[in-house]
Amino acid sequence: MKLTFMGTAGARFMVAKQIAASGGLYLEEGDTRISLDPGPGAVVQYAKRKVDLTKLDAIVISHRRLFCPGDALDRDPVVLNYLRHFPQEIVRLQPETDYSVNGVNFTTSPAHLHQVETFGFRFGDRLGWVTDSEYYEGIAEQHKAGVMVIHLVLMECRTGLPHLCLADVERIIRDAKPRLAIITHFGMTVWRAHPWEVAADLTQRLGTEVKAARDGMSIEL
């Protein structure tokens, strides 16, 4: 399984200013191709890396946001009515449910604590994807895998803003003990703190390898 970061921006100002790209994630396994949370500019990022979007097997979206789409079927928000006859099938994700796309299996988490319906994902024991959420008990175990991709939006926790902060991410890594943790989906405060330096500090303090995703970075799982 190969995972490519088509973008690492994760908050409105990061996306609006395109300080980092907002193309989401791209997963490849054998002949299966899945786009995860493609946001504004995703088509450009895929084209830069010579990915043929007509060959996608699925687009998986964790929640409804214009910069990382979302469940997307109510009141014609992100998946427009005009577009709905193009896919072979549209499936509205449910919590704690198993899905399969051409042999690539994944499971949704319980609903995250967020402003809109949001799920995280586990692709077996290989990949856990911790999407937007306020911290809650059990989040580490629900996404535990050898490699974990974690959305780090805030440096400091903020009441009323249901996103993971640095202390939350540190706690998740301590509890889940992945072989590798990758932080991404950066907000402005994280970007100004230099994500690669944040990752290096976490690695030193936790004894777990932590990397900061960069636009275009690929890893083999």
| pLDDT (tens digit per residue) in 140-162 | 999 999 999 999 999 999 988 99
- Is residue 30 within 8 A of residue 24, CB to CB? The reply is no
Domain interval for residue 123:
2-73+100-220
In a domain, 178, yes or no: yes
Structure tokens at 91: 């499936």
Does the structure show a pLDDT above 70 at 16?
Answer: yes
CATH of the domain at 182: 3.60.15.10
In a domain, 140, yes or no: yes
Please state the domain count of the chain.
1
60 strand-pairing partners: 36
d(CA 143, CA 159): 24
In a domain, 12, yes or no: yes
Q: Radius of gyration (Cα) for the chain, nearest Å? A: 16
In a domain, 79, yes or no: no
Pairing of strands 127-130, 121-123: antiparallel
In a domain, 82, yes or no: no
Q: Which helix (H) or strand (E) holds 103?
A: none
- Whether this prediction's pTM lies above 0.95 is answered by no
In a domain, 183, yes or no: yes
Angle at 199 between CA 136 and CA 163, to 5 degrees: 30
Mean pLDDT throughout 55-69?
78
In a domain, 88, yes or no: no
In a domain, 93, yes or no: no
Mean pLDDT throughout 118-132?
98
| pLDDT (tens digit per residue) in 64-95 | 655 444 445 555 556 777 778 888 898 999 99
Residue 200's contacts (CB-CB under 8 Å, 6 or more residues apart) are 210
**% the chain with pLDDT above 70:** 93
Q: Angle 195-206/166-176 helices, nearest 10 degrees?
A: 40
